[in-house]
Structure 1
Amino acid sequence: MQAKLTLPLLLLFLAGNISAQYKDYFTNETMRLDYNHVGNANEEHFAFDQMVNDGEWAGNKTVLIDELMLGKYFFEVQDPKSNKVIYSRGYSSIYGEWETTPEAKENWGSFHESLRFPWPKQNVNILIYKRNINNGFDPIWEYQVNPLHHRAFTAPVKDHYNTFDVVINGAPEKQVDIVVLGEGYAADDMGKFRKDAQRFADVLLNTEPFASFKEKFSIRAVETPAPHSGVNHPHQDIQTRSALSVTYGAFNSERYALGYDNKLIREASAAVPYEFTAILMNDSIYGGGGIYNLYITAAVDNAFQEYLFVHEFGHHFADLADEYYTSASVYEVDMQHLEPWELNVTANADAATIKWKDIVTPNTPIPTPWEKAKYDEHSIKKQEKRLEMRKAKVDEKVMEDFFIEKRAWDDELLSNMKYSEHIGAFEGAQYKSNGLYRSAANCIMFTRHHQFCPACQRGIKLIIEQYTK
């Protein structure tokens, strides 16, 4: 296995391999390498499962090397003859979150995961790296892929699901391709699913910066009918089995929704060309989730459905960090990192070197003063009240009204401060009240706001460019 790579060395190494030619190494199909990721809070292991043809390669055939290197993990596809990196991507995973939970300190866990890359013409080496506290990457698994392996299933998924186009703007290799799956939609709900998929597309592509690049997006949907309507809610004593195994209550957080059956979700997604996945939950209870380069989940019938669509997609698409800090996280955030790798938060409040220094509003103090004490006092009280209401299992409409009132208060305060319209460094981000900063007073990643902050917008644009250049 290779020695660890620091971030500067890895950047240099990747830059030297950026000229890898698609046609020299890959076919027009997609390989999905499935494996099991097993471990606990102290150690982790990988075990090969299978290789599957995931259909037509929908990715960019020009930009094969990921120079952004976001995510907790990073993988490379290498030509074993030359050791040249011919494809790479950063990603995060359910395991990467689970290993920080209290459960992982006491028990082992096993999670099924997949890597997707163009189908290689010859044997290739796969190397998975994990981010270290210095934001470099340490190698943790290496596997040689033989496309002729007896567990390489070369027949693509065809005609297993009904599919339909939501928005098509070009050939997959030149577009950002999103697949929309439905969870908790019975056969009789498919008409509603079609409307919900269109609503998701409309909301996303009318939010900046997606709106300015909407012609670069194609969105397709796959019908995945369930036996019954609705999604599993262990905290609400609602038990049901649905098509994709998505459930509220992930990591024992009632509003966090994840699907643990990776194969099932991947098989459904592969019915159309895709790079990103949105799972719409046919449910009215507020909840969802988003993991970088995995998928999002979002409830479609809640008053905050539009916010959920875009907020969770920000996590999934651009690895944007949560900027809020007064409500609890479902997992423990690694505070050992000297600097968050996400593009929208920072621990560096030096005006000369802050990661978004080139867009800071002139004459803006760094750190940037804001009504933090007033905001904290109000938000903490509201969080305490929210917990009481959830414990009492009040009607969801009452919860919605509660959060609508809070959103109005937040918007009023955060839009009427001296530096409300400035780009600066506002203290409080990523579940930490002190020592971490965001670029603007308000953002979709901070409150239930309707706009992304400038740092988030820039990060999203970088991903769009990576997939469409």
Structure 2
Amino acid sequence: MIKITGRRIVAAMLAALGMCSGLAMAASATVRLDYQHGGNAKSEHYAMERVVIEPLPWPGNPKKAIDDTDRGNNKFEVRDAATGALLYSRGFSTVFAEWQSTDEAAQLDRSFQESLRFPKPEKPVKVSVLKRDAENRFVPVWSVQVDTDAQGVIRKQPDSGLKPIKVHYSGPSEEKVDLLILGDGYTAAEMQKFEADAKRLTEHLFSVAPFKQRANDFNVWALAVPTPESGISRPSTGVYHASALGSSYDIFGSERYVLTLDNAALRGIAQNAPYEFIEILVNNKTYGGGGIFGQFSTAAAGSDWSNYLFVHEFGHHFAGLADEYYTSPVAYQSTGEFKEPWEPNATALKDPSRLKWKKYVNASTPLPTPWPKQVYDDASRAYQKKRAELRAQNRPESEMNELFTKDLARSTALLNSAKHRHDVGAFEGANYESTGYFRPEMQCIMFDRSEKFCHVCHDAIINIIDLYSR
């Protein structure tokens, strides 16, 4: 008779867990796969650059290695090279896909560096990138064999000397969502301002539901590399500033779109803090921001609308939420096709009986759901014309802020008097399109500069919090 002690039982259970996950027992290091993603409007290709072992341990929850949220235009999978067992997966979207929808993509080829991060496996793996097809199914588009113990893997990097600021701490990284706030356009003399901006916007994030109720599931860190000049580049006005992250306005020709296209710089700085999500604060007063699911988001910290920008853009990056507005000009060029979006808060409503958020809809609410769209659109055309004039004339930002305030008051008053104001339904106008796409409620942070997420967006955010926290 074999006597099995409590210690042996625990050891056996841990060993079994390690065999099932393939990563859980060895997730002590963070692997980053850097690659090039290029092409044009009709084609794309990939090429591996390098494999890096980042300086900090893997911050993620080893028990939640597989992504079941079905978000992103892409997904990547890490599988055991010998057995094919799925070890890790995450959905994401890309800067390349944003660019691929612009006019420029029809004229030339471009390449963008991207990165995939995952916990270090014990054995060689196959890393695959998948992309949605016309039916929204993920299909493989590129794969590469990776041996994280190979001689060519970068294991040592120069000490950057960068130390993150602990803005909001709730517990060990593997049990929490780790958000890293990076600063760009802050001089050495403005480092205290950056810290104050990061703390102020973190406090605002945790005043908005559902982040408010789940604040204890987050850690927030802050990090900034000083720049020679205050603020970032704004090429449409002839302003060019060197900065560590290379953030800029006017991305893809949209004056308010702020991104960095320097992924190498972004990852080189971010790797000095525990993180799963990144928001970049740019030290500018001009309204602007951007957000890409699973990559990063940006917000102008000096704008009068910084609170809204921080939360709205984080909604894109964190939860894969679609823009619900459709009257503002964007770099995106419509194809005229209205296929069902993967984003949880937009639909083409091909079949109302199968509406993705039908569980929130009362039986008495009609689909599509009527709302004062014509009145809203007429006023929005006048508002957008004035907005374009102010930017073309490079008028003071105070005039733009005044216009934004009046527009929000006008639209809120209009929607407050509408019959289905507080109903979840299918309201036409979303995803940059006036017709053909529908949003869940009349008003939401993803629709205008209001203060609340709709029910659908609220729960979509909770799904992601649950994926990363314990």
TM-score using structure 1 length: 0.93
Deviation, 1:149, is 2.7
CA 1:53–1:333 in structure 2 vs 1: closer, same or farther (change >3 Å)?
farther
Any conservation in 1 of the 2:41–2:100 contact (CA below 8 Å)? yes
Corresponding position of 1:162:
163
**Offset at 1:80?**
1.6
**Pairing 1:30-45 to 2, within 5 Å after superposition:** 30-45=30-45
Unaligned runs of 5+ in 1: 1-16
Q: Please give the residue correspondences for 1:240-251 in structure 2 after superposition, counting only pairs within 5 Å.
A: 240-251=241-252
Q: Aligned in 2, Cα 1:77/1:23: closer, same or farther, shift over 3 Å?
A: closer
Paired residues for 1:73-112 under 5 Å: 73-112=74-113
Q: Describe how 1:182-201 pairs up with structure 2 within 5 A.
A: 182-201=183-202
Correspondence list, 1:117-136, <5 A? 117-136=118-137
Q: Distance in 2 between matches of 1:262 and 1:225?
A: 18
- Tell me the SS of whatever aligns to 1:120: coil
Match of 1:221 in 2: 222
Aligned to 1:301: 302
Structure 2 residue matching 1:211: 3-state secondary structure: coil
| CA-to-aligned-CA distance 1:320-358 (integer Å, 9 cap, x gap) | 000001112212256546311000011126553211111
Which residue of structure 2 lines up, in the alignment, with residue 447 of structure 1?
448
Bigger mean CA offset, 21-30 vs 109-118: 21-30
Equivalence for 1:49: 49
Aligned equivalents of 1:101 and 1:269: distance in 2? 28
1:465 maps onto 2:469 in alignment = no
Matches of 1:466 and 1:162 in 2, distance apart?
Answer: 27
**What letter matches 1:28 in structure 2?**
S
C-alpha change, 1:159 and 1:361, in structure 2 (3 Å) is same
Three-state SS of the structure 1 residue aligned to 2:46 is strand
- 8 Å contact kept, 1:53–1:156: no
The 8 Å contact of residues 290 and 312 in structure 1, kept in 2 or not, is answered as yes
SS state at 1:315 partner: helix
Query: What CA distance in whole angstroms lies between the structure 2 residues aligned with 1:61 and 1:39?
Result: 35
1:389 Cα offset (Å)? 1.7
What is the identity, as a one-letter code, of the residue corresponding to 1:60? N
- Which residue type is aligned with residue 410 of structure 1? S
How far is the alpha carbon of 1:18 from its aligned partner?
13
Specify the SS of the correspondent of 2:34: strand
RMSD between aligned residues? 1.8
Q: Which residue of 1 aligns with 2:331?
A: 330
Letter in 1 for 2:272: A
SS of the residue 2:465 aligns to? helix
- The aligned runs of 1:295-374 (5 Å cut-off) are 295-333=296-334, 336=337, 338-348=339-349, 350-374=351-375
For 2:101, give the aligned amino acid: T
Q: Does the Cα contact within 8 Å between 2:29 and 2:53 map onto a contact in 1? A: yes
Instruction: Tell me by how many angstroms 1:22 deviates.
Output: 5.0
- Contact 1:248/1:258, CA 8 A, preserved across alignment: yes
SS at match of 1:303: coil
1:349, 1:367 within 8 Å by CA — same for their partners in 2? no
Q: Which residue of 1 aligns with 2:59?
A: 58
How far apart in 2 are the matches of 1:190 and 1:373?
Answer: 47
Normalising by structure 2, we get a TM-score of 0.93
Contact 1:101 1:332 in 2 (8 A): yes
Q: 1:72-112 CA deviation, whole Å, 9 max, x = no partner?
A: 11111011221111111110111011111111111110111
Amino acid at match of 2:409: A
Matches within 5 A, 1:193-272: 193-272=194-273
**Structure 2 CA distance for aligned equivalents of residues 337 and 151 of structure 1:** 45
Secondary structure, aligned partner of 2:390: helix
Are the equivalent residues in 2 in contact too, given 1:227–1:243 (CA < 8 A)?
Answer: no
Q: Compared with structure 1, are the counterparts of its residues 141 and 328 closer, same or farther at alpha carbon in structure 2 (3 Å cutoff)?
A: same
Paired letter, 1:42 = K
Find the counterpart in structure 1 of residue 69 from structure 2.
68
Q: Is the 8 A contact 2:338 2:437 kept in 1?
A: no
Displacement of 1:19: 8.9
Q: Given the superposition, is the C-alpha separation of residues 204 and 22 from structure 1 closer, same or farther in structure 2, using an over 3 Å criterion?
A: farther
* 1:380-419 alignment, distance < 5 Å: 380-419=381-420
Structure of larger gyration radius: 2
Aligned to 2:3: none
Q: CA deviation at 1:46?
A: 1.0
Structure 1: how far apart are the matches of 2:78 and 2:235?
40
C-alpha deviation, 1:25, in angstroms: 6.6
Q: Distance in 1 between matches of 2:391 and 2:79?
A: 50
- % identity of equivalent residues: 40
Give unpaired runs (5+ residues) of structure 2: 1-16
Deviations 1:394-436 (Å, cap 9, x if unpaired)? Answer: 1111111111111111111112211111111111111111121
- Matched residues in 1 for 2:274 and 2:115: separation? 16
**Alignment length (residue pairs):** 453
The one-letter amino acid paired with 1:313 is F
Aligned equivalents of 1:468, 1:247: Cα separation in 2: 32
> 2: CA distance between counterparts of 1:18 and 1:106?
50
Are residues 66 and 335 of structure 1, via their aligned partners in 2, closer, same or farther at CA, if it must alter by over 3 Å? farther
